[in-house]
Amino acid sequence: MSQAHKDAILTIAKPTTKVQLQRFLGSVEWSNRYFPHLAKIVAPLTNLVGDAPWTWSAAQDIAFEETKKVIDDARQLTVISQEELAPRDTDLIHWSAPPTEPVTNPSLGKYIFLQCDTSACVTYGENWWNALPVYHHSRKLTNTQLSYPTHKIELLAIFEERIKQCNSQAKKDY
């Protein structure tokens, strides 16, 4: 996300109409790949869009400020470099807690990690603890999807992210 786009979002005043709220959400969601759990954070705001009556409350105030805080704190995404990847069929050292000393894997190179809960995040680094984000995927679940078991929600996040990547690649190829 460019600093100019970030600054533009941070200067938006608290919305007083649905149109202003839609503009704010559009600006934020245009950059959703930079923010983990964005759909959960903006849920009180998206509840006011559509046919819902306009009733701005403390929940919307909190969501609005939290959204701006997340944008202000956003880490820059990194790019996966084919030359830096660890060789195929190599394993990295797994730690159940952050290591207290530098970790050295048996093979030099970086690995790709997929963190998945109700959102998905692809990270890239020498180990889980120092990996940088490459991409985030987050959206509000439908009422039906809210009843899915956890593993199906995780698979849905992976599936939707893969579809997004394929569509993005198809646009580039076109």
Q: What pLDDT score does 174 carry? A: 60
Residue 61 scores a pLDDT above 90 = yes
Q: What pLDDT score does 36 carry? A: 65
Residue positions counted in the chain:
174
Q: What pLDDT score does 34 carry? A: 63
What's the mean pLDDT in 4-16? 87
Q: What pLDDT score does 9 carry? A: 86
pLDDT band at 71 (very low <50, low <70, confident <90, very high): confident
pLDDT band at 84 (very low <50, low <70, confident <90, very high): confident
| 8 A C-beta contact, residue 38 and residue 28 | yes
pLDDT band at 173 (very low <50, low <70, confident <90, very high): low
Burial class (CB in 10 A: 0-12, 13-18, 19+), 38: buried
| 8 A C-beta contact, residue 90 and residue 32 | no
Residue 31 scores a pLDDT above 80 = no
Q: What pLDDT score does 131 carry? A: 78
Residue 81 vs residues 8, 10, 51, 74: alpha-carbon distances, Å: 31, 31, 45, 22
Give me the percent of the chain exceeding a pLDDT of 90: 16
> Quick one: tokens of 119?
């959102």
Q: Which positions ≥6 away from 96 have C-beta within 8 Å? A: none
Q: Which domains does the chain have, with CATH numbers?
A: 3-72 (3.30.70), 82-173 (no CATH)
Q: How far apart are the C-alpha atoms of 3 and 1, rounded to whole Å?
A: 7
pLDDT band at 1 (very low <50, low <70, confident <90, very high): low
Q: Which of 51, 20, 19, 25 is nearest to 38 (CA)?
A: 25
